[in-house]
Amino acid sequence: MPVPHDLLADLHVTADQFQALIDKDHSLHTLHKEYNAKDKEVLAAEGNGTNDEAVNRLRKERLLIKDKIERIVHPPKS
């Protein structure tokens, strides 16, 4: 049975911390919406027997969005 990813656990932030970041950064808010929509697509594809190639493509797209979110939440140290 498909299970949604826990983005906040992956990012090691609490819901309150993430909300504070979203409140300050509109692009993060937009990316979070995109991530949630893509996660739903992945779950639907996993649950309805979509071929592995399509499911893997969706997972990679979701991962790219997560990487963008992670760069905002945990910017690289310079």
Q: 7-59 pLDDT, tens per residue?
A: 999 999 999 999 999 999 999 999 999 999 999 999 999 999 899 999 999 99
Every domain of the chain and the residues it spans: 9-73
What band does 71 get if pLDDT is binned at 50, 70 and 90? very high
What is the rounded CA–CA span in Å between residue 28 and residue 63? Answer: 15
Question: What average pLDDT does this structure show over 46-75?
Answer: 96
What is the rounded CA–CA span in Å between residue 39 and residue 18? Answer: 18
**Residue 3 predicted with pLDDT over 90:** no
Supply angle C-alpha 25, 42, 44, rounded to 5.
125
What is the rounded CA–CA span in Å between residue 9 and residue 77? Answer: 21
Please give the pLDDT value at position 1.
61
pTM of this prediction exceeds 0.85: yes
